[in-house]
Amino acid sequence: MADLTQNEWTSQLESNPDAVILDVRTQEEVDEGSIPNALHIDIHKGQGFLDELEKLDKNQTYLVYCRSGNRSGQACTIMNQLGFESAFNLMGGINEWAGPIENK
């Protein structure tokens, strides 16, 4: 797992248009706004979170975020343990995000 600054995270996204943005916040947090095109899997769902991760392509690049960077860091660690090759944590989470936000 790598912790990336917003600039590094954005550069990773720009250089890899197939990368998946993964939002691991609660539904209530997502309802307040999210980074566009993010896949939402709530890390607080425990086994349900693990089950959803197992459905994903482990060879894909994942750019993971939460509110402050703590849960997304945990998610990246879990993903690495499950055999994901590339999971990058957004340091500071959406709280520090200066890019576009969409409301679903």
What are the residue numbers of the active site? 66
CA distance linking residue 69 with residue 97, whole number of Å? 11
Residue type at 55 in one-letter notation: K
C-alpha of 97 from chain center: 13
Write out the H or E segment, with its range, that includes residue 2.
Answer: strand 2-4
